[in-house]
Amino acid sequence: QAILAFFNAFFYTYNHIFMPNLTEALKIGPSNLSFLKIGDLVEAKLIQKAPKAVYFDLGQFGTGIVYGVELFNAQDILKGLKPGDPISIKVIDPENENGYVELSLREVGKQKMWQGVKELREKGEVITVKISGANSGGLMAEITEIKAFLPVSQLTGDHYPRVDDGDKTKILNELKKLIGQDLKVKIIDVNSRTNKLIISEKETANENVKEMVNKYKVGDVVDGMISGVADFGAFFKFTDNPAIEGLIHISELDHRLIENTKEVVKVGDAVKAKIMEIKDGRVSLSLKALKPNPWDKVEEKYKAGQEVEGTIARFNPFGAFVALDADIQGLIHVSEFGGVEEMKKQIEAGKSYTFKIDSLKPQEKRIVLKLKK
């Protein structure tokens, strides 16, 4: 009778529990099939604590295990857990040789920190950070023990390193002055997989300033003063609203190619500029837009086939720029010489030569030259 009862119980379990579950497990379709990857954070429930391992229920992913070094490192976290308690846990091996998902509790705290900074970003909250370091690209700080980076481009005008020649050593020296200071910032980029946390001081711009900016529109011509120069352009403070500071990109300073901002403006210059763009409280302006375009009438002065005198302005890898007058520059291509070294042997920067205009394309602001032999 005991044997009969055993077999009855076995076949009941097989037919009513094992087979239905197996059948369900074999229903592999797009909605049921999923895979774990190293580094994934999964929700788990504690099943059992054993002397050399701790087991977790991972639901559809099976059973997870924490053992060895990971178990040793997780002792403090495991002390407070009891069977059935939920916890987020990190995958370090989707399937080990025993069929378990190997897990780590070591970085759970760090993952929670990353989740915290993600929430701060989503809420758009302004937070205060202490600057702990600097390099030529920006500043370093920490938010809930996670290293954060504040790029130079995300500093407000008050803290931007306004170095005339763009010298990286000078920029770094200016940035180092901010070490130890508290700055108000917003989080603008979070990526826990690449350990990237980017913050911005610009984004905390005073709402009153944003309101003032909204009083202007694209196309307005405004009076202002050059408040700073950098290798990429010049800062422009509005005369009627000094709290507003816009940027004139180097390409918007003049119709000719500019290598150094100081060729056109210097700090303290009073200028008029045209508003080209207003976006997120930031203003982009142009001096070039208020100047007559010399290329509009270039064909009145120059023709294809014409011989002209020009001065070598500067070299670059694909040729040399030639100043034909105060506003117009032509280009002689390096292929005319066979190489950069040979080009520099035949022509010198600052010297004048006779050229022949090979082609003229005013719409592209391009004059191609050949050296008269």
Please check whether residue 111 is in contact with residue 161, taking contact to mean a CB–CB distance below 8 angstroms.
Answer: no
Total length of the chain: 373
What percentage of the chain exceeds 70 in pLDDT? Answer: 88
- SS3 (DSSP) at 215: coil
Query: In terms of DSSP H, where are the helices of the chain?
Result: 2-13, 19-25, 69-73, 75-79, 108-123, 168-176, 207-213, 340-346
Q: If we measure between CA atoms, which residue out of 184, 180, 127 comes closest to residue 154?
A: 184
Q: Rounded to the nearest 10 degrees, how much is the dihedral formed by the CA atoms of 155, 156, 161, 163?
A: 120
- Which residues, 6+ apart, have CB-to-CB distance to 226 below 8 Å? 234, 235, 236, 265, 266, 267, 268, 269, 271
Please check whether residue 214 is in contact with residue 203, taking contact to mean a CB–CB distance below 8 angstroms.
Answer: no
CA 215 to chain centre: 30
- SS3 (DSSP) at 171: helix
Q: CA–CA separation, 192 vs 187, rounded Å?
A: 13
Higher pLDDT, 163 or 121: 121
Range with the poorest average pLDDT among 56-65, 78-87, 203-212, 276-285: 203-212
Element of type H or E holding 2: helix 2-13
- Which conformational region is residue 139 in: left (phi greater than 0), alpha (psi within -120 to 50 degrees), or beta? beta
Residue 164: band (very low, low, confident or very high) from pLDDT cuts 50, 70, 90: low
Max mean pLDDT among 16-20, 23-27, 38-42, 248-252 falls in 248-252
- Which residues, 6+ apart, have CB-to-CB distance to 169 below 8 Å? 136
Q: In this structure, what token pair is assigned to residue 95?
A: 């399937």
Please name the amino acid found at residue 342. Answer: E
The 10 Å Cβ neighbour count of residue 247 is 19
- SS3 (DSSP) at 93: strand
Query: Is residue 198 pLDDT above 90, yes or no?
Result: yes
- SS3 (DSSP) at 300: helix
Range with the poorest average pLDDT among 151-165, 215-229, 237-251: 151-165
Q: If we measure between CA atoms, which residue out of 182, 178, 177, 181 comes closest to residue 127?
A: 182
Give the tens place of pLDDT for each residue, 1-13. Answer: 555 444 444 444 4
Range with the poorest average pLDDT among 27-36, 120-129, 255-264: 27-36
Q: If we measure between CA atoms, which residue out of 276, 265, 126, 285 comes closest to residue 206?
A: 126
Q: Residues 338-363: what's their mean pLDDT?
A: 92
Range with the poorest average pLDDT among 21-30, 216-225, 235-244: 21-30
Q: Residues 71-88: what's their mean pLDDT?
A: 87
Give the tens place of pLDDT for each residue, 316-341. Answer: 888 999 999 988 999 999 999 988 88
Q: In this structure, what token pair is assigned to residue 158?
A: 């008050």
